[in-house]
Each structure stands twice: as C-alpha cells, then as structure tokens.
Amino acid sequence: MPRGARRLHDFALSDVQWDALLIPINMAFFYRRSPRGRVVAMYPGPAGATESTLDLGAWDELVAANPWLDDLRADVEALLVYRVGGAREYYRVPIDRCYALVGTIRTHWHGVSGGQGSREAIQAFFGALRAETAKAREVAHA
C-alpha cells in the first residue's frame, strides 16, 4: 500500500477534458478496480462515494497527456482531483486518502448544500494535503 501523497504540479487536464469525464461535481478520484479491470471514477458526497459513468475515450485522452496514469496500482492508488472554486489541484494518493475525504464530507455535511462546516472541512482536508505534499517535495529536493 502506498503511503505518501504527491501533488502533481505538471498534470495536464483542460476544462474541456474535465467536462468530457462527466463528473457532476468539481471533486473526484479515479482508480483502477481490479475485479472490473478498468478505471472507475468516484465522487464524494453526503451519502458516501458515488461511482460516475466514466467515458473511457475521455480517460484514454487523459492518459495520453499523463502516461503515468497507466501505472496507478490497482485498488490501492488513485488520482485525486480538486477543482472547487477555481482550484486546479491534482494528487497521486493512496486510495484510503480518498475515502478519508468521503468520511470528512459525510461527517460535516448539513442540509441540502452541505453548509459552511462542510466547506471548511473540505478546505482543511486539502490544506493539510497541500502542506504534506509541499513538505515531502522539500525533503525530496534537499
């Protein structure tokens, strides 16, 4: 099981490519599910992680621009995408980090739109992930 997260500063994903992936919100994770032998897209919400219909042609285009995506370890490693409020952040993370985000959302969600507490918890989750990956990058460059 991979332990560390990595922020992908040079990840290539245009707004048009994102739209082609058919994810209904601006946050998702993608991983290779071994029983299906293909990549699945999940997005977090108040009811848990929901599988989205993934246009495999759009995924193939994304892999062509980011070939390392073919190397994601099945069932244990994911691409985590955060595009809320104009953010364009991409991470290679252990899959348990994605489900930790799902748990954070479920725990803090109130009402129809989630409420301020939910938004703050999501921002704190990604703030901690940014800090962790920045520190790991500094260590790697030292």
pLDDT per residue as tens digits for the range 6-17: 999 999 999 999
Domain assignment of residue 65, given as a range: 6-137
At residue 6, the pLDDT reads 95
Parts of the chain with a pLDDT under 50: 141-142
Would 1 be classed as within a structural domain? no
Strands of 27-33's sheet, edge to edge? 6-7, 89-94, 77-82, 27-33, 38-45, 48-52
At residue 141, the pLDDT reads 43
Give the tokens for residue 43. 């997005």
At residue 139, the pLDDT reads 56
DSSP 15-61: HHHHHHTT-SSSEEEEEEETTTTEEEEEEEETTEEEEEP--HHHHHH
At residue 54, the pLDDT reads 84
Q: How many folded domains does the chain comprise? A: 1
- State the Rg of the chain over Cα: 15
